[in-house]
Structure 1
Amino acid sequence: MTITTTTHLNFRGDARAALDLYRTVFGGEAAVVTYRDAHAVQDEAEADHVLWGQVQSPAGFHVMAYDVPGRLPYDPGANPVFVSVRGTDGDEVRRYWTGLAADGTVLQDLAPSGWSPLYGMVRDRFGVVWVLDVAAEQAWS
């Protein structure tokens, strides 16, 4: 049996914009199904919100997202999840960093660390915290 895991992010009305940002940053294709598309509208004001969406790139990036309906509780909390993006090319990781940091908040500058040639943490404009680094051979066991 083979499995994969995919980060699934929850929003309150911002899923489409977030997916657009991630497609711009990481490339690939976006797919979006709204509540209207799925004939699942319970609140007309939310009909065009995302029931299911994803961005998937040929390079291996894959994230899913949806808009939590207003009738359900939604509290993103404090640091409920970090999305980790690890690459092997520093220039590629820098491009991702630049895209995610636009209108976001840098939590840890993208710079060399004790375990990686480049490591950084940024909260994008939707409140999602991303950890980006360049894979390196671990010096400890």
Structure 2
Amino acid sequence: MHEGSIENPPTLPLFGMSSSKELRTPPQPTQQPYLSLQPQYYAYIPPYPSFPLLSPQSHSAVSSPLKKVPSMKEFLNELNETYGEGTYTHFETSFMEQEVLVQFISEFTNTDFKKLGIKKIGWQKVLRRATLKILSWVK
């Protein structure tokens, strides 16, 4: 080896393979191949509400047994028990003269009610809602 200059860089010793030692890598433990764990994105789907199956035999607060549509007299009597004696039964004659069935009261317009003598808005609302409640029981 000689010292060099800018024009002649120094020579470096070369090592041959005969003088080198074999480098051994330590044995790797046996393991599963590397799996790439990429984040996966899913759309959130909220759970579908499950409701218990209703049967005519069940008597829970959620379901009531299936009923038939009451007669006009029965219907008006039930409303009287809830809202006061005589409040609704005095309309029975008007309903009978016009041949009104209970299941159609929910479809009445304000004009229809006025023709029957039911002029108060509160009475009209009670009759409509009570009819809808009965229709939800009937199948």
- TM-score norm. by structure 2 comes to 0.21
Higher helix proportion (structure 1 or 2): 2
Answer with 1 or 2: which has the greater Rg.
2
Higher strand proportion (structure 1 or 2): 1
- TM-score norm. by structure 1 comes to 0.20
Compare relative contact order (CA 8 Å, sep 6+) and give the higher one, 1 or 2: 1
